[in-house]
Homo-oligomer: A and B are copies of this chain.
Amino acid sequence: MSTDHTGKATPSGGELPPEEKRGTYAAIFGRRDVRAFHSDRIPDDVLARVLTAAHHAPSVGFMQPWDFLLVGSRSTRERVKELSDRERRAAAVFFDEPRRDKYLSMKLEGILDAPLNLCVTCDPTRGGPQVLGRNSIPETDVYSTCLAVQNLWLAARAEGVGVGWVSILRNAELRDILGIPPHVIPVAYLCLGYPEEGFSGRPLLESSGWRKRLPLASLVSYEEWGAQSHNGWAGFSTTLAPQTN
């Protein structure tokens, strides 16, 4: 039983046992974007659990718009890697020095190192023309697919499997390589495998000095946009500093 800010007891019967709660946070805070992998293959039972976790994400209207395309073939991954390299060179053009050198020096993907690549797609036609809850914001199908990706990422972390998201692939070319129909959206191209150097304590872009983690308090507002304090929330913003890890 917890107490709220007035000291009143609150219902908490649904919370997980302490060690399981700790496990949820361990996966969340210990998850990393992994870019260097062992070549060892992921056991089938582990992969099955991770995909099942993805499939149990929430989706608008229970639409389940996702598909999972598993890619192990070296030649296919080489084509994707070539596409990724082109995009990387193109992106570099827009950075000024010294950012450009830094950008080009970082290892940002493990397409060929990882034993498995996985393209998670979204089929906007799944569930027919009228999906419950999708009337105002059609993109909720893609949102749902992203939620599946995060489930997968966290389950993989729990299993000790690293996941890296290659976000710079153009969808038209990627569809061509993988045979994906024009109406289906490649949402996430992921590399999966055991991380070569474990899971680091901080994201690479933070530890390398590329960009800082923002203070949580600067991202929270109360009752209306941008209001960083409010009568009804007195004392709350100080409590709101990260308390775990």
Which residue numbers of A lie inside 8 Å of B, CB to CB?
Answer: 2-6, 8, 10-17, 19-31, 33, 38, 40-49, 51-53, 55-58, 60-64, 66-73, 76, 87, 90-91, 94-95, 103, 108, 127, 130, 132-137, 139-140, 142-143, 146-147, 149-151, 153-155, 157-162, 165, 167-171, 178-181, 184, 187-188, 194-195, 198-199, 203, 205-206, 210-211, 213-214, 216, 219-226, 232-233, 235-236, 239-245
Contacts and interface: CB of A to CB of B under 8 A. Distances in A.
B240 A14 contact: no
29 contacts: A4-B42, A10-B41, A10-B194, A12-B159, A16-B26, A16-B30, A16-B157, A16-B158, A19-B20, A24-B157, A31-B56, A45-B243, A51-B220, A55-B216, A58-B153, A61-B205, A61-B211, A62-B203, A62-B205, A63-B211, A67-B220, A67-B221, A70-B233, A87-B136, A103-B132, A108-B132, A134-B167, A137-B167, A137-B171
Q: How many copies does the complex hold?
A: 2
Contact of A15 (B15, B130, B160, B180): B160
